[in-house]
Each structure stands twice: as structure tokens, then as C-alpha cells.
Amino acid sequence: MDTQILSGKVVSESVYDNLKPRIDKLLSNSIMPGLAVVLVGDDAPSQVYVKNKTKKFLSLGLFSETIRLNNDVSQEDLIGVVNNLNNDNRYHGILVQLPLPNHISNETIINAISPNKDVDGFHPVNFGHLAAGKPTFIPCTPKGIMRVFKHYNINLSNKHVVVVGRSNIVGRPISILTSLKRNDSNATTTICHSGTKNISYYTKQADIVILALGYPKFLKGNDIKEGAVVIDVGINRVKSTSGKGYMLLGDCDGSSIIGHASALTPVPGGIGPMTIAMLVENTIEAAEMELQ
């Protein structure tokens, strides 16, 4: 079987093309969409991710600023930074890069962000809207997955989707999005996780498998049924003898999946670019609130 490669790079470029007239309209109304990124500590993957986000914003002529804080910053001081950003009209979106140091509660910091500036879609208010089937800001990675389905005309209705992973960042929100009673979803969705016995029992039944487990090469070709669609969200850094000293691997074993799956997202170049594209789109949506 020929396996179609679902390129997030291709889909993200179409997203940016569609955003250009919306950006132009905002600029013509003297509204410069702005994003504040808060980066705590020196986690290497986080620094790369933040750099890529900032680079994309600047390439689109948008405003983005990164606030860098030491790893030992107190939770109280970090909340103070977030509160200042909430009250700063230059920023329509606020993103606190995760993970945070162990002495800081992710939940407490996320709750401190104004729901109207929560372009990551993690605040309980926005998550509640999603759970109720009336999403406002949708978490970027799940939103990007849904956009890939739309771009490649992958119909979810009456399909069985199996999500491997239950995080609030990917697994749980994508399970909601795929099962909503809407034209672009309406699937029957099953969630598997680290506490699920014999996960392959479920993935072998799936029409679509969405992997967000954080375990390199977890899913093999014999874990899926012939013709399934595989969405690989995993980006795992594994030591390598290459010049970078590491290589990026997905949660599926791509070499064994190809030939069994009808379609597959690559790692890198699959869902990663879509996460940034959806962050841009969410920030544009936040800026457009000024036009209402």
C-alpha cells in the first residue's frame, strides 16, 4: 500500500496565506497583533521552540517579544510578570512556555493568564468552552491536527479514532474535537494512556490513530489495521552521533508504518509546523476582538 505523507509544512503555508488578508485588515485599523512569550530557565527544546515561534511572527510582520526569566524565579514573581502582561495592551496573546521548573505550578500560572489572551487554549475557561462543544481558543496542537484532516479531506464522521495519550495539551482536547457533533468531526473516539492494558488491541481497531504519548517508536506497523491514518504528535530527542548530538523521533516507527497506513504525518515536518501556525492564528483571533 502506498502511504500518503501528510505534510504540516504544506498545510501551515496555506494557513499563513489565508491569514494575510486578516492581518492586513488589522494593520489597516492600526492594530498590530502582539504575542508575549515567557521563557523560564534554559531548557534547550523550549528555547528552540520559542525561537521558531518568534521567527515566524517576525516573518509575518507581527509583534512578538520573549521575556526570559531565570530558572530560580519564584512563582509569585512569575505571576507578577503574567499580571503585567495581562494589562499590557501591546500583547493580544500570552504564552508561558512549558515545562516550568518543579517549584512552580503549571496550573497556577495558566490560571493567572487572562482567558482573552490565552492563545494556548489551556485556561479552564477556554477548556470549559471546548468541553461544552463551543470552543473559543483551541489548544494549538489539537487545532493543527484538525486542520491537517481538513486540508487532506480526511473525513472523521463515523470513523473510529483512537488517541494514545491523555494530556491536557494534546490527548484530551483532541479527543473532544474529534468527537464533537460537527461537520469536521463526529467520530467515535477512544482514549488510551499509560494505564491502558494492551494498547495495540485498540489501535488495531482504529481508522485513525493519534499518537501523543512521548515514547519514541512506540507504534509499529503490526499495531494498526491496514489502511489506517496515523497522526504522530511525538517529538522525542534521542542521542545521536550526528552534528547536533541528537535526532528527532516520533511516537511511531515510521519505517514499519509506511506500507501499512494509508497516510502518516512525518517527524519532523508534520504536526510541529502546525502548532506554530495555530498559535499565529489564535493570536490573530485575539487581536480581532478589538474590531468587535
With contact defined as beta carbons under 8 Å apart, do 291 and 27 qualify?
Answer: no
The number of helix segments (H) and strand segments (E) in the chain equals: 10, 11
167: cell is 494530556
Residues annotated catalytic, as ranges: 53, 97, 120
Give the separation between CA 151 and CA 144, rounded to whole angstroms. 10
For residue 211, the SS3 value is strand
Phi–psi pair at 112, nearest 5 degrees: -80, -20
Residue 94's Cβ-count burial label (10 Å; 0-12, 13-18, 19+) is: buried
Strands 93-96 and 34-40: parallel
CA distances in angstroms from 107 to 65, 91, 102, 110, 113, listed in the order given = 23, 21, 12, 5, 10
Q: Within its chain, how far is the Cα of 106 from the centroid? A: 17
- 38 HSE (CA, 13 A, CB side): 32
